[in-house]
């Protein structure tokens, strides 16, 4: 059998202590080395080898806070405890060291806040597991613990907060949640499965589906190890659940078999090594574990390029398991140059990535990493090739600097001079911020580590191609969807496909406007049509106003002779008052039609902005003239006849006024006054 050849053993990258367990175990050993007298409230972790070793070193395991001797250090294990137990511990004369897993603490906070707000808490997990018991202790109201979809089917609740035991099987959790959402209302689901658990279960799923034999190492009371065994057993019939190398079956046929090893979060690295070493010595299996050990023992140095597994993605950083003594941290700023991109947009838990070691801080046990630097190194070669070939590259504008823009392209910062930022002069470069742009690399200065590019060259090329196509089928009356490129006092220039046309200010609105910016802004997409085109001068006059939006067309369908309308006084003239019927359509109330009495001054009877009721007495759509009368709606005063009749004075003759001539003359005077 010793002469037979065997295939490689694969050890899951995430096998062994998770971040929280490793931190807790290391802290207890540190306290023991410092001479502290330790009492642990329950088993620190579900691993007999570790708990036995701690006991040998003097760490006692107790079941009640009151069993902690005065002056001792009371350790709260990774599973956490309820709020009442926490307060009880703080009230003792013992020093309290809380080693509750950060993920579990987050669940405590969620259920505490949600239950205080009136929510009913549903915990998906094993009701007898110490972690779940601790979570229940932070709920101030109604709560339920379910572990299967069948148990969840019995719930009929309104206002529910769902959390998960950190080590629960993800597939089972999703089934339970689906059932809860069917039966209950106002459900809030919190996916609180530990990131390390997610990674470990995903790796177990993949590895077991590829292997003929699987070994799952961990304590028999460990919940997360049981879940790993269940996952592996479904994919690999020959799966063994063992606590250490002594439990490896002796009658296994390893010939030409693919073998995989994974381990629970409470399994020390030493036990995994013993299992692998035993298999190597007794079965002559060529292990990949030696390579893993060599990497584990290697020292990290600044400048190293290493591979790691993403354990957790936070809003401002990413935690990476490097397989070394400490985990690594990638700050958000070292993931990408783009400030708008979140870490979760780039990586997710379980991703295997290559990173650059920026610095090692043994004091805090943290290693600073950068993904951005490696991306820049790889991208730099692409930029060199683009410079040679003239290939168009894509990037995002991430900042403006004196004299230009900085564009992130393939992980590198490319400087674009202001004159190369657009195909037209642009004074305010901030309008380009966060835009995705195409550019060409025009220069790479290796000595100064400076890369220069041009957006303009790409725009000009694209515009020329579009312009050529445009002139092939351009004609008066044709409609286009254009983009407002610039605004001038006399109108706006609109890009309608590689060429710019002018929409005169008079064509922007049926109402009188003082500046085009009252109607459109730079960058707006608008519908226009060609009014006039001159292929020789390449000048295009565009129309924007729609006939159906003409207020006089609208008015013609809205008003009839004899109608009583509500209108607003907008301006005075010596001969009367102009009123607005609808925006863009004014009518005239002659001074003789304002009141029953004789009116000397219009302003004595009316005020600007006043709403009045008037009767339409004349409609001249051709000349856009509407006459109205307030007097026509007023009842004449009853006057008693005098005993002796007197000769009535001659009625004052009403002389019609040429309104248009008067308005035109007055407009000239107003214009002169403004100037």
Please tell me the distance from the alpha carbon of residue 523 to that of residue 431, in angstroms, as a whole number: 10
Of 14-18, 337-341, 371-375, 643-647, which has the strongest mean pLDDT? 371-375
Q: State yes or no: pLDDT of 294 exceeds 70.
A: no
Strands 317-321 and 328-331: antiparallel
List the end-to-end C-alpha distance of the chain, in Å, as a whole number.
108
Q: Is the pLDDT of residue 454 over 80?
A: yes
For the ranges 452-466, 539-553, 591-605, 610-624, which has the lowest average pLDDT?
A: 539-553
- The pLDDT assigned to 111 comes to 93
Beta-carbon contacts of residue 316 (< 8 Å; ≥ 6 apart): 331, 332, 343
Q: Can you read off the two tokens belonging to residue 243? A: 């606590």
Q: Which carries the bigger pLDDT value, residue 642 or residue 150?
A: 150
Confidence of residue 449 (pLDDT cuts 50, 70, 90): confident
Is the per-residue pLDDT at 535 higher than 90? no
Structure tokens at 564: 């009583």
**In the numeric block, which tokens belong to residue 332?**
């958000």
pLDDT at 2: 35
C-beta separation of 512 from 551 below 8 A = no
Candidate from 39-48, 383-392, 623-632, 664-673 with smallest mean pLDDT = 664-673
Report which of residues 339 and 130 the model is more confident about: 130
Q: What H or E segment, with its residue span, contains residue 131? A: helix 130-136
Q: Taking a C-beta distance cutoff of 8 angstroms, is the pair 439, 458 a contact?
A: yes
Give residue-wise pLDDT tens across range 424-437.
778 888 889 989 99
* CA proximity to 266, closest of 205, 196, 369: 196
Distance CA 595, CA 311 (A): 84
Which pLDDT does position 148 carry in this prediction? 93
**Structure confidence at residue 81 (pLDDT):** 92
For 433, how many CA atoms within 13 A lie in the half-sphere containing its CB? 9
Instruction: Provide the pLDDT for residue 365.
Output: 57
- For the chain, the average pLDDT equals 83
Please tell me the predicted confidence (pLDDT) of residue 6.
36
Output the pLDDT for position 299. Answer: 61
pTM for the model stands at 0.42
CA angle in degrees (0–180, nearest 5) for 54-57-58: 90
Tens digit of pLDDT for each residue in 145-185? Answer: 999 999 999 999 999 999 999 888 888 899 999 999 999 99
Query: Residue 629 has what DSSP assignment?
Result: E
Q: What is the pLDDT of residue 238?
A: 92
pLDDT at 279: 66
Contact 542, 502 (CB under 8 A): yes
- State the average pLDDT over residues 119-139: 93
* Residue with the two structure tokens 């010595």: 281
The pLDDT of residue 328 is: 85
Most confidently modeled of 18-27, 216-225, 275-284, 544-553? 216-225
**21 burial level (CB within 10 Å; 0-12, 13-18, 19+):** buried
Number of H-type helices and E-type strands within the chain: 16, 32
Among the listed residues 239, 260, 210, the one whose alpha carbon sits nearest the alpha carbon of residue 9: 260
Which pLDDT band holds residue 546 (cuts at 50, 70, 90)?
confident
Cβ–Cβ < 8 Å for 39, 69: yes
pLDDT of residue 289: 40
Q: What 3-state DSSP class applies to 575?
A: coil
* DSSP line for 196-263: HHHHHHHHHHHHHTT-SEEEEES-TT-HHHHHHHHHHHHH-SSEEEESSGGGS-TT---TT--EEEEE
* pLDDT over 90, % of the chain: 30
pLDDT of residue 552: 86
- What average pLDDT score do residues 489-516 get? 86
Distance CA 253, CA 251 (A): 7
Q: How far apart are CA 564 and CA 567, in angstroms?
A: 10
What does residue 254 show for φ and ψ, rounded to 5 degrees? -90, -5
Model pLDDT, residue 13: 79
**Which 3 state secondary structure label does DSSP give 67?**
helix
Contact 613, 564 (CB under 8 A): yes
The proportion of the chain whose per-residue pLDDT surpasses 70, expressed as a percent, equals 88
Residue 273 is predicted with a pLDDT of: 75
187 pLDDT more than 90: yes
Question: Exposed, middle or buried: residue 62 (CB in 10 Å: 0-12, 13-18, 19+)?
Answer: middle
pLDDT (0 to 100) of residue 42: 87
- Other CB atoms closer than 10 Å to residue 235's CB: what's the count? 17
Q: What are phi and psi of 469, to 5 degrees?
A: -70, -35
Average pLDDT over residues 391-400: 91
Among all chains, which residue has been given the structure tokens 């997409």? 525
Which one has a higher pLDDT value, 375 or 37? 37
- Give φ, ψ of 330 to 5 degrees: -110, 110
451: Cα within 13 Å, side-chain hemisphere: 23
Give the number of other Cβ atoms within 10 Å of residue 130's Cβ: 19
The encoded tokens of residue 542 equal 């565009």
More confident residue, 85 or 477: 85
Q: What is the pLDDT of residue 327?
A: 75
**Secondary structure of the chain: what % helix, strand, coil (to 5)?**
35, 30, 40
Which pLDDT score is estimated for 291? 45
Mean pLDDT for the stretch of residues 382-386: 88
CA distance 567 to 548: 22
Active site residues: 131
pLDDT band at 650 (very low <50, low <70, confident <90, very high): very low
* pLDDT at position 406: 92
Separation between Cα atoms, residue 79 and residue 84, nearest integer Å: 15
User: In this structure, what are the phi and psi dihedrals at residue 589, rounded to the nearest 5 degrees?
Assistant: -105, 110
pLDDT surpassing 50 at residue 545: yes
Which residue, chain included where needed, has tokens 């305010």? 428
Instruction: Quote the tokens at residue 176.
Output: 């339970």
Q: Which of 120-134, 296-310, 404-418, 528-542 shows the lowest per-residue confidence on average (mean pLDDT)?
A: 296-310
SS3 of 172, please? helix
Token pair, residue 258, equals 């693919």
pLDDT (tens digit per residue) in 245-255: 888 887 777 77
**Mean pLDDT, residues 348-368:** 78
Q: Quick one: pLDDT at residue 473?
A: 80
pLDDT of residue 663 exceeding 70, the answer is no
In this prediction, residue 544 carries a pLDDT of 83
Phi-psi region of 523 (alpha: psi -120 to 50; beta: other; left: phi over 0): left
Written as six digits, the tokens of 288 are 């990949």
Handedness of CA 245, 249, 255, 257 (dihedral sign): negative
Any idea which residue has 């003097």 for tokens?
A: 58
Phi-psi region of 402 (alpha: psi -120 to 50; beta: other; left: phi over 0): beta
112 with 149: CB under 8 angstroms?
no
pLDDT at 197: 78
The two structure tokens encoding residue 539: 């000048």
């Amino acid at each position: 059998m010793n002469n037979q050849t065997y295939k490689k053993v694969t050890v899951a990258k995430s096998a062994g202590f998770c971040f929280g367990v490793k931190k807790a175990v290391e802290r207890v050993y540190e306290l023991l080395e410092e001479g502290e007298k330790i009492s642990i409230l329950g088993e620190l972790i579900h691993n007999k080898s570790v708990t036995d070793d701690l006991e040998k070193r003097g760490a006692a395991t107790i079941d009640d806070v009151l069993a902690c001797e005065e002056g001792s250090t009371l350790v709260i294990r990774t599973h956490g405890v309820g709020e009442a137990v926490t307060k009880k511990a703080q009230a003792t004369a013992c020093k309290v060291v809380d080693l509750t897993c950060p993920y579990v603490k987050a669940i405590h906070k969620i259920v505490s806040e949600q239950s205080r707000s009136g929510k009913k808490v549903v915990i998906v997990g094993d009701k007898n597991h110490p972690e779940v018991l601790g979570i229940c202790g932070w709920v101030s109201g109604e709560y339920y613990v379910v572990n299967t979809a069948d148990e969840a089917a019995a719930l009929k609740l309104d206002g529910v907060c769902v959390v998960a035991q950190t080590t629960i099987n993800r597939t089972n959790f999703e089934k339970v949640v689906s059932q809860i959402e069917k039966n209950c209302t106002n459900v809030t689901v919190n996916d609180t499965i530990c990131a390390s658990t997610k990674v470990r279960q995903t790796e177990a799923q993949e590895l077991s589906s590829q292997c003929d034999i699987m070994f799952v190492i961990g304590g028999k009371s460990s919940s997360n190890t049981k879940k790993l065994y269940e996952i592996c057993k479904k994919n690999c019939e020959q799966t063994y659940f063992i606590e250490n190398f002594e439990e490896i079956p002796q009658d296994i046929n390893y010939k030409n078999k693919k073998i995989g090893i994974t381990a629970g979060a409470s399994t020390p690295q030493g036990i995994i090594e013993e299992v692998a070493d035993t298999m190597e010595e007794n079965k002559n299996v060529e292990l990949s574990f030696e390579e893993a050990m060599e990497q584990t023992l290697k020292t990290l140095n600044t400048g190293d390029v290493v591979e790691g597994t993403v354990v957790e993605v936070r809003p401002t950083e990413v935690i990476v398991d490097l397989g070394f003594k400490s985990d690594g941290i990638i700050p958000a700023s070292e993931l990408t140059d783009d400030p708008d991109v979140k870490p979760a947009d780039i990586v997710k838990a379980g991703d295997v990535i290559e990173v650059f070691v920026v610095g090692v801080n043994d004091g805090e046990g943290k290693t600073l990493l950068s993904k951005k630097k490696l991306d820049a190194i790889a991208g730099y070669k692409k930029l060199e090739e683009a410079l040679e070939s003239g290939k168009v590259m894509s990037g995002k504008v991430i900042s403006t600097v004196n004299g230009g823009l900085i564009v992130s392209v393939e992980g590198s910062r490319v400087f674009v001079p202001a004159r190369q930022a657009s195909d037209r002069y642009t004074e305010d470069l901030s309008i380009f911020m966060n835009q995705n742009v195409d550019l060409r690399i025009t220069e790479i200065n290796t000595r100064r580590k400076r890369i220069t590019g041009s957006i303009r060259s790409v725009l000009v090329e694209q515009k020329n191609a579009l312009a050529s196509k445009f002139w092939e089928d351009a004609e008066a009356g044709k409609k286009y969807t254009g983009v407002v490129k610039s605004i001038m006092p006399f109108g706006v220039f609109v890009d309608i496909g590689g060429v710019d046309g002018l929409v005169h200010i008079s064509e922007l609105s049926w109402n009188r406007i003082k500046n085009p910016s009252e109607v459109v802004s730079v960058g707006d997409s608008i519908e226009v049509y060609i009014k006039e085109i001159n292929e020789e001068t390449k000048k295009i006059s565009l129309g924007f106003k729609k006939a159906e939006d003409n207020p006089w067309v609208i008015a013609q369908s809205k008003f009839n002779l004899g109608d009583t309308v509500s209108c607003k006084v907008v301006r005075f003239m010596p001969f009367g008052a102009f009123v607005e019927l609808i925006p863009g359509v004014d009518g005239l109330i002659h001074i003789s039609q304002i009141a029953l009495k004789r009116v000397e001054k219009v302003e004595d009877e009316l005020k600007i902005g006043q709403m009045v009721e008037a009767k339409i007495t004349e409609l001249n759509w051709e000349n856009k003239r509407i006459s109205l009368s307030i007097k026509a709606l007023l009842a004449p005063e009853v006057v008693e006849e005098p005993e002796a009749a007197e000769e009535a004075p001659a009625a004052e003759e009403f002389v019609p006024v040429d309104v248009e001539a008067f308005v035109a003359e007055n407009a000239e005077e107003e214009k002169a006054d403004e100037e």
